[in-house]
Amino acid sequence: MKVKSLLARSGLRFSLTIYLVGGIVVLAGLIAVILAAAAGDGRSSSVIPDYAGVPSAWQNRHILGDPDAPVTVQAWEDFRCPACAAFNQRVKPGLLENYIVSGKVKLEFRHFPLQQHEPGASLAAQASECAADQGRFWTYHDRVFQATSSGPSAFLMERLIEYAVELEMDGDTFTSCLTNQTHLLTISESLQAARAAGHNSTPTVLVDGVPVANPLDYEAVSASIENQLSSSQ
């Protein structure tokens, strides 16, 4: 089913109410069109990571891993943040292979859309929650981060719906969820929680509540995990 027809049926009722008013929306759209020609449309041939090794009971919306894992890694991220995309390319695969599959760690994703990345950051965050409604948060999460380097054009509503269709989700349900802003409050509350906690950059990575100074260094994150595992024995 084509994305444009899904959008047409939805009536395009979506309205970004947090940061934008009508004039800014128009301007953002024009900029996105210009950038699309230079940066591409966000399509990627990269392979989406396989979560077959993680039991379905360990994939609870945006929490990945054994609910009773002794260590919790919490990542506050923004889908338009290049450093967050780097964290997912450099660090998350090692966490998955060495700690999550074995039940030692559970990874919690937390939304922290930065204002300088709007409107795409909040829109992508809402889209990821729509994917979570269909049990596909992590594959959608990975697909969106593949598009981060393509810039604002990769975060237009049509593209975000297209990614869901690529991943064989129910396109009508996804489109309705996104255009009706079903998870707007969820994203707003997460953003407020990030600010209340004093977080000021993305990714902010905590291991059992302790910030990791260099979250893009797998060895640094691993060392923090090992320290917590030793302390829990």
**pLDDT tens column, 139-170:** 999 999 999 999 999 999 999 999 999 999 99
| Per-residue pLDDT reduced to its tens digit, 65-106 | 999 999 999 999 999 999 999 999 999 999 999 999 999 999
Which residue would you say has higher pLDDT here, 46 or 193? 193
Could you tell me the pLDDT band of residue 116, with boundaries at 50, 70 and 90? very high
Residue 114, H or E segment: none
pTM of the model: 0.80
CA distances to 40, 52, 62, 106 from 139, in Å: 21, 11, 11, 17
Give the pLDDT confidence score for residue 30 in this predicted structure: 34
DSSP character string of 38-77: HH--S---PPPPP-TTS-GGGEETTEES-TT-SEEEEEEE
